[in-house]
Structure 1
Amino acid sequence: MRIGIIFGGPSREREISFAGGRTVYDNLDKSLFEAVPVFADSLGNFILLDWQYIYKGTIRDFYPPVEALPESEHGLQIYLESFGELSIEEQDRIIAKAGKRLLPHQFRNHFDFAFLTLHGPYGEDGSIQGLLEWYHIPYSGSGILPSAIGIDKVAQKEMLKQHGFPTPDYRTVQYNEWQEQGNRQQLFDSLVADLGLPLVLKAPHQGSSIGVSIVKENDFAAFEAGMDRSFFTKTIYKAQWLAMGEEKQLASIKQLVDIREGIGMPVMLEDGTIIYHPEELFNRINHTFNTTGTDTIKLINIEHEQQVLVEAFIKGREFSCIVVQDEAGKPIALPPTEIVKGSEVFDYRSKYLPGLSRKITPINLPEEEIQRIRQATSRLFTAFGFNVYARLDGFITESGEIFLNDPNTTSGMLPSSFFFHQAAEIGLNPSQFLTYIIRTSVAERLKSGKDTVRLTRLLAELDTSIKDEQAHRYDKIRVGVIMGGYSSERHISVESGRNIYEKLSSSTKYEPLPIFLTGSNEEHRLYTIPINIMLKDNADDIKEKIQHFEHGGRPHPVLEQIIEEAASITRKYTGRSLEEPQRITYSQLKNLVDAVFIALHGRPGEDGALQTELEKLYIPYNGSGIRSSQITINKYETNEILHQHGVSVAKHRMAWKEDWQKDKEAFFQSIERDFNYPFIAKPADDGCSSAVKKIKNRAELEAFTTLIFREMEELDTECARTLSLGFKEEFPNKLGFLIETLISREGAKHFLEITGGLLTKYAPDGTVDYEVFEASEALAEGEVLSLEEKFLAGEGQNITPARYAADPERRQKISNKVKEDLKRVAQILQIEGYARIDAFVRVFENDEVETIIIEVNSLPGMTPATCIFHQTAINGYKPYDFIDRILRYGIERTKMKATV
């Protein structure tokens, strides 16, 4: 069955839609479905996308294509709408670089069913649903009317009231009313008098995390800023702007044009002029303030809201509940998840970045309260006419009153989203849940009385295929996916492990088993874990759940009841029931699996310790062998070996805790004699992004040293502030750290940071062959690449292949030289399987190239957004193909060792 996955779109949540589309593309069961990627751009064009672009980190990494981008002096990133008014011919030229334009009447030639991962306006509001119905294409989720209700927060309020659901008191403020500047203070006073404080301000036609603010105090300036945010308007004040300086002005522009947290582009000025490009806006603001007497510039997004919903604040615990239908059409509320936030608002960043908020499933309340939430959400699902599935959010107050708000007919579909997180609680892995959604959606479309013969046939064929697949599940290669660990990159390791698990579980060849590793360097503790525990929010939540069962805990009684209620679904799509986590030894692991995929980062995993245990038992594994892993985990030793072989590395040295304890001043002076500020400080033996800091002065050096050599677990708040550590940013505790010179241009005409991937295979004579991929150019927002920029969908930007030169022939020549340098590094360090090598590249006048190696990762991050997948795509490997080759190499290596 051909499944057209429609993703992207014009909304402000297009990046999450893009990442969700990729999740669906990767997780569709390969034995049942053929995935067809259909990208909707921000002008509403549908594009049959060349599959390799799905693995870009963000839409802007490939669309508009780099070669079509207008000049931007300050490197400001844009979407297609910033090109201005484009003719159909101009749009076609851009589309042709990414795929093939699809007109709606051509949909049926390419797919039988549309899986919708679009968010917000145009995607969740009935628009796309209506288009598909017109062209007789069955689609996922709710129909036209419930979708239209699900996007309109004001209409929802009225319907909630009509159906007797409690809802916070609210008012609406019309855009025209807001423009009458003189009444704003009066309006604020009346809203506070009517609704009390805090006030919640919402953009009524956006996704649940866009354009939302909370005004906590009687602060008119905060209210005005919040209203502007919800309307997608912005006033820029001359005095504030000029006081910033160019660097802060540029940062302000980037934030302003961000579609998630700013007002986005294009914008209109008060005189009706429309500005499309952020660079043009930057220049216009500076020109206006520097040459005229104007004190303010007002910007209005061309798709601004016409009203803002102002609600009374509900003090209570926040939850989110996915409701699904069984085959009889009866709603089943999955276990509600409590959202424990780091900030007041569950905003875009809190929602989608692992570790910033916690998801507790089920919400920690008495059983009868959880059941009341489930009953309320099921009743709302029916009252609003939702179909197949929906995500219903709400609050429960201390007095037990339940307020439901922001029902969503399409949930975010990132691997860690509520959508998969709650489905796992009844035992469905993502691949199985997607099959359930497709099958239930076809049955739901059948009820409309349209196309009944064709849809009945489609449903019967799918049911036969599902039964068939169950019968052949045990013919597969069993792979233990080891994730977690105890390093500061354990959460990213879980993201990597889940991604590997999901790619393998949707394949026709492998049967993955999730294994969580915890403990210490002295004792590795391995646990087989069921799908619902694997999909907990982060590594610490998984560990907590395992400990609950180890200490005799039982599954939550509400979960047991829901599993019972959903038994017909679970039986059909999995054929098995959920099990409890089990501790296993390495010997037991050998009996459970045919091979292992190590998805750990830092220690253990990348340091040879795990490899030693696996080799004792001849268990095949991915990545480099013991000795190579022991070298590459140690950045100092890696630098030393490469330097001895004539490879360019940064000047480096270790700084030791015992020297610091002996004489702090002498310790700092010794570093300052060897290195000029700024320089890089980082742990020598940890993951690639853990505590990597650009040190600009003595205060920062002291702060870094104090934190890394601290005796207690907690971080000194003053030092954390000095280093501008992010919310919940972890900082390892070490006996020494590595100092390196900050690598700079040094006379090169072109200078860029790259990350290059490689894959190995055996040649016929048994030697190792290296396939080095086109490197990605890494663009950091801050001083160094952050963990989020490297691994999280929608964060940071990677250009693949790297832009060494404008002329394609010269670019390739330079690229080939860099690839040779990376291959030589891999050979010196005896890298096997696959790896990621980070480097800086200097290109001089005569195209002479210098590659300066930063570090080597023997088990690179394998999260859905990591750029190694962009690189392998150029060579024709989908992520599954790449993972398959890595596993095949490991299995072959073990066979060769076993026969020696």
Structure 2
Amino acid sequence: MRIGIIFGGPSREREISFAGGRTVYDNLDKSLFEAVPVFVDSLGNFILLDWQFVYKGTIRDFYPSVDVLPATEHGLQIYLESLGELSIEEQDKIIAKAGKRLQPNEFKKHFDFAFLTLHGPYGEDGSIQGLLEWYHIPYSGSGILPSAIGIDKAAQKEMLKQHGFPTPDYRTIQHATWADKNNRAALFEQLVSDLGLPLVLKAPHQGSSIGVSIIKEKDFAAFEAAVDRSFFTKTIYKSQWLAMGEEKQLASMKQLVDIREGIGMPLMLDGGDFIYHPEELLRQLNHTFNNTATDSITLTNVEHEHQILVEAFIQGREFSSIVVQDETGKPIALPPTEIVKGSEVFDYRSKYLPGLSRKITPINLPSEDIQRIREATSKLFTAFGFNVYARLDGFITENGDIFLNDPNTTSGMLPSSFFFHQAAEIGLNPSQFLTYIIRTSLAERLKSGKDTVRFARTLAELDTKIKEQQAHRHDKIRVGVIMGGYSSERHISVESGRNIYEKLSSSTKYEPLPIFLTGSNESHRLYTIPINIMLKDNADDIKEKVQHFEQGGKPHPMLEQIIREAESITRKYTGRSLQEPQRITYSQLKNLVDAVFIALHGRPGEDGALQQELEKLHIPYNGSGIRSSQITINKYDTTELLGKHGVSVAKHRMALKEDWLNDKEAFFTSIEAGFAYPFIAKPADDGCSSAVKKIKNRTELEAFTTLIFREMEELDTDCARTLSLGFKEEFPNKAGFLIETLISRNGAKHFLEVTGGLLTSYNPDGTVNYEIFEASETLAEGEVLSLEEKFLAGEGQNITPARYATDPARRQKISDKVKQDLKRVAQILQIEGYARIDAFVRVLENDEVETIIIEVNSLPGMTPATCIFHQTAINGYKPYDFIDRILQFGVERTQLKNQG
């Protein structure tokens, strides 16, 4: 069955839609479905996307392609709409670089069913649903009318009241009313009088907490800014702008044109003129404020909200509940999740970056309260006419009052989303849940009375295939996916492990088993974990659940009830029940699996310790062997060895805690004698940008040293402030850290940071063959590449292949030289399986190339958006194919050793 995955779109949530579409593309069961990626650009064009582009980190990485973008002096990132009014011919040229334009009347030629991962206007509001019904294409989720209700928060409020659901009191502000600046102060007074403080402001047609603000105090200026934010308008004042200076102006501009945090492009000026490109806006602001008497400019997005919603603040615990329907059409509310935030607003970063917020499932309440939430959400699902699945949010107060708001007909579909998180509590893995969505949606479309014979036949065929698939489940190769750990990289390790698990679980060849590792450097423990625990929010939540069961704890009684209610669903799609976590030995592991995929980062995993245990029992595993892992785990040892072999590396040294304790002043003076500010300080054996800092002066060096050598778990707040640590940013505790000179252009005509992946295979004579991929150029917003830029959907930018030169022949020649350098590094370090090598590249006047190696990861991050998948795609490997090759190499290596 051909499944057209429709993703991207014109909304402000397009990056989440893009990442969600990739999740569906990867997780559709390959024995049942063929995935067809249909990308929607921000002008609404449907594009049959070349599959390689599905694995780009962000839409901006490939669309529009780099060669059609106008030069940007300040590196401002743009989407298609910033190219201005484009003719159909101009659009077609851009589309042709990413795939093939699809007209809606051609849909049927390419897919039998549309899986919708679009968000916001055009995607969740009935528009795409109506288009698909017109062309007789069955689609996922709710129909036209419930979708139209689900998108409009203001209309929902009225309907909630009409159906007798308690909901926070609210008012609306019309855009035309707000335009009259004279009435604003009186309006604020009235709202505070009617609704009290705090006030919650929302953009009614947006999701992912875009355009949401909370006003806690009677502060008119804050209120005015928040209303503007919800309307996607902004007034810039001359005095403030000129006081900023160039660097702050640029940072402000980047935030202003961001479609999630700012108001986005294109914009309309006070006089009605349109501005499409951020560089054009920057020029306009500077020209106006430097050359005219104008004291302010108001900018408004061309798709601003017509009205905004102002709600009374509910003091209570926030929850989110996915409601699904069984085959009889009866709604079943999955266990509601409590959202524990670090700030008042569950914002974009908190929603999508692992470890920033906590999702506790089920919400920690007495069973009777959980059941009341479930009954309320099921009732709302029915009252609003939702189909298949929906996400319903709300609050429960200390008095036990339940307030429902923001019902959604489409949920975010990232691996960490509520969507998969709650389905796992009844035992469905993401691949199985997607099969459920497709099958249930198909049955729902039958009820429309359109194409009933064809839809019924398709449904019967799918049911037969699902039964056949269950019968052959035991014929697969069993792979233990080890994730977690105890380093500052443990959350990213879980993301990598889940991604590997999900790619394998949707394959026709492998049956994965999730295994969680925890403990310390002295001793670590392995546990088999069920899908619901694997999909907990982060590594610490998983550890907590594992300990709960190890200490004799039982599943939450409410979970047992929900599992019973959902038995008809789980029996059909999984054929098994949820197990409890079990501690296992390495000998027991050998009996459970045919091979292991180590998805750990840092120690243990990348240091040879785990490999040693697996080799004793002849268990095949991924990645490098013991000796190579022992070297590459330590950045100092790696650069020392490479330097001895004549490879260019940064000047480096270790800074040790014992020297600092012995004489602090001598410690700092010694470093300053060898390294001029600024330089780089970082842990020698942690990755994922953990505690990598550009140190610009003695104060920062003292703060870094105090934090990394601290005795306590807590961070010193003054030091954290000095280093501008982000919210919940982890900082490891070490006995030493690495200092490196800051690598600079040094007169090169072109200078860039790259990360290059590789894959190994065996030649017929048993020697190792290295396949080096085209490196990605990494663009950092700040001083070093951040965790967000590496792992948060829509953040950061990787250009693959790296732009060494504009002329294609010269670019390839330089790339081949860089690849040779990376291959030599891999050979010196005896890398096996796969790896990622980070480097700086200087291209000199005569096209001579200098590759300066920063670090080598023998088990690189394998999260869904990681750039190694962009590189493998160029060589024709989908992520699953790449993972399959990695596992094959591990199996062959074990066989060769056993023969030897």
The alignment's TM-score, normalised by the length of structure 2, stands at 1.00
CA contact (8 A) 1:325 1:389 kept: yes
Corresponding residue of 1:573: 573
Which residue number in structure 2 is paired with residue 179 of structure 1? Answer: 179
Q: Which amino acid aligns with 2:481?
A: V
Contact 1:270–1:299 under 8 Å retained in 2: yes
Q: Give the match for residue 141 of structure 1.
A: 141
User: What is the DSSP-based 3-state SS (H/G/I as helix, E as strand, rest coil) of the residue aligned with 1:821?
Assistant: helix
Specify the alignment match of 1:299 in structure 2. 299
After TM superposition, the structure 1 = structure 2 runs for residues 189-208 of structure 1, keeping only pairs within 5 Å, are 189-208=189-208
Q: Which residue of 2 aligns with 1:812?
A: 812
Cα root mean square deviation, aligned: 0.5
Distance 2:208 2:621 in 1: 42
Question: Identity rate of aligned residues, in percent?
Answer: 87
The answer for the alignment partner of 1:320 in structure 2 is: 320
Partners of 1:208 and 1:406 within 8 A in 2: no
For the pair 1:889 / 2:881, whether they are aligned, the reply is: no
Aligned runs of 1:775-854 on 2, under 5 Å?
775-854=775-854
Name the structure 1 match of 2:584: 584
Q: How far apart, in 2, do the equivalents of 1:380 and 1:179 lie?
A: 36
Higher mean C-alpha deviation, range 207-216 or range 649-658: 207-216
Task: Report the alpha carbon displacement of residue 435 of structure 1 after superposing the two structures with TM.
Answer: 0.1
Distance in 2 (CA, whole Å) between partners of 1:345 and 1:732 is 28
3-state SS of paired residue (1:658): helix
Question: C-alpha separation between the residues in 1 aligned to 2:485 and 2:587?
Answer: 19
Change in 2 beyond 3 A, CA 1:125/1:688? closer
Q: For 1:274 and 1:229, how far apart are their aligned partners in 2?
A: 19
Classify the secondary structure of the residue corresponding to 1:314: coil
Matches within 5 A, 1:387-466: 387-466=387-466
Q: Mark the runs of 5 or more structure 2 residues left unpaired by the alignment.
A: none
Provide the rounded CA distance (Å) in 1 between the counterparts of 2:359 and 2:888.
36
Give matches, 1:212-227, under 5 Å: 212-227=212-227
What is aligned with 1:876?
A: 876
Aligned equivalent of 1:732: 732
Question: Is the partner of 2:851 in helix, strand or coil?
Answer: strand
Q: For residues 833 and 240 of structure 2, what CA distance do their matches in structure 1 show?
A: 54
> What letter is aligned with 1:189?
E
Once the two structures are superposed, what CA deviation does each residue of 1:585-643 show, in whole Å capped at 9, x if it has no partner? 00000000000000000011000000000000000000000000000001001010000
Deviations 1:787-826 (A, max 9, x none): 2211222111000000000010100000000000000000
1:657 alignment counterpart: 657
Counterparts of residues 738-753 of structure 1 (less than 5 Å): 738-753=738-753
Work out whether residues 683 and 734 of structure 1, in 8 Å CA contact, stay in contact via their aligned partners in 2.
Answer: yes
More displaced stretch, 347-356 vs 100-109: 347-356
Counterparts of 2:125 and 2:663, CA distance in 1: 66
Residue 121 of structure 1 aligns to a residue in which SS? coil
Counterpart amino acid of residue 13 in structure 2: E
- Deviation of the 1:687 alpha carbon: 2.1
Cα offset for 1:688? 4.2
Moved over 3 A (4+): none
Scaled by the length of structure 1, the TM-score of the pair is 1.00
2:352 counterpart of 1:352: yes
C-alpha contact (below 8 Å) 1:333/1:375 kept by paired residues? yes
Alignment map for 1:265-664 (pairs within 5 Å): 265-664=265-664
- Deviation of 1:520 after TM superposition, in Å, equals 1.2
Contact 1:791 1:861 (C-alpha < 8 Å) held by counterparts: no
Partner of 2:34: 34
> Does 582-591 or 779-788 show the bigger shift?
779-788
Mapped to 2, the partners of 1:369 and 1:381 lie a distance apart of 18
The residue identity in structure 2 corresponding to 1:378 is S
1:194 counterpart SS class: helix
Match of 2:684 in 1: 684
CA contact (8 A) 1:800 1:870 kept: yes
**How much does 1:347 deviate?**
1.2
- Report the Cα distance in structure 2 between the residues aligned to 1:678 and 1:240, rounded to whole angstroms: 30
CA offset at residue 210 of structure 1? 1.1
Task: Give the whole-Å Cα distance in 2 for the aligned partners of 1:853 and 1:792.
Answer: 25
Q: Find the aligned partners of 2:593 and 2:86 in 1 and give their Cα distance.
A: 55
Size of the aligned set, in residue pairs, is 900
Could you tell me whether the CA contact under 8 Å between 2:13 and 2:208 is conserved in 1? Answer: no
Partner letter of residue 192 of structure 1? V
Q: Give the letter for the 1:78 counterpart.
A: I
Structure 2 distance, partners of 1:206, 1:634, is 46
Greater CA deviation, 349-358 or 15-24?
349-358
Three-state SS of the structure 2 residue aligned to 1:105 is helix
Give the residue type in structure 2 aligned to 1:554.
K
**In 2: Cα distance, 1:226 partner to 1:441 partner:** 39
Q: Deviations over 1:278-334 (max 9, x none)?
A: 010011101110000111010000000111110000000000000000000000000
The answer to whether the Cα contact below 8 Å between 2:6 and 2:38 also exists between their aligned partners in 1 is yes
The answer to whether the 8 A contact 2:504-2:510 is kept is yes
3-state SS in 2 of match to 1:381: helix
Structure-2 residue corresponding to 1:236: 236
Q: Is the 8 A contact 2:353 2:791 kept in 1?
A: no
Contact 1:688 1:857 in 2 (8 A): no
Deviation at 1:543, TM superposition (A): 0.2
Kindly indicate whether the alpha-carbon contact (under 8 Å) linking 1:804 and 1:843 is maintained by their aligned counterparts in 2: yes
How much has 1:524 moved relative to structure 2? 1.5
Structure 2 counterpart SS, 1:19: helix
Q: Secondary structure at the match of 2:234?
A: strand
Q: Cα deviations across residues 653-705 of structure 1 (Å, max 9, x unaligned)?
A: 11111111111111101100100000000011122421110000000000000
Q: Distance in 1 between matches of 2:643 and 2:337?
A: 52
Secondary structure of 1:841's counterpart equals strand
Aligned to 2:717: 717
Q: Using the TM superposition, give the Cα deviation of residue 244 of structure 1 relative to its aligned residue in structure 2, in angstroms.
A: 1.0
CA distance in 2, matches of 1:402, 1:355: 28
Whole-angstrom distance in 1 between the partners of 2:622 and 2:493: 15
Give the Cα separation in 2 of the matches to 1:606 and 1:285. Answer: 51
Distance 1:690 1:390 in 2: 37
Counterparts of 2:793 and 2:505, CA distance in 1? 21
Mapped to 2, the partners of 1:816 and 1:687 lie a distance apart of: 27
* Counterpart code for 2:528: T
User: 3-state SS of the aligned residue for 2:38?
Assistant: strand
Q: Residues of 2 paired with 1:300 and 1:368: CA distance?
A: 48
The answer to whether the 8 Å contact 1:792/1:866 transfers is: no
Whether contact under 8 Å (1:166, 1:402) holds in the other structure is yes
User: Could you list the per-position Cα deviations for residues 478-502 of structure 1 after superposition, in whole angstroms to 9, with x for gaps in the alignment?
Assistant: 0000000000000000000000000
SS in 1 for 2:752: strand
**How many Å separate the matches in 2 of 1:287 and 1:846?**
40
Counterpart residue number, 2:56: 56
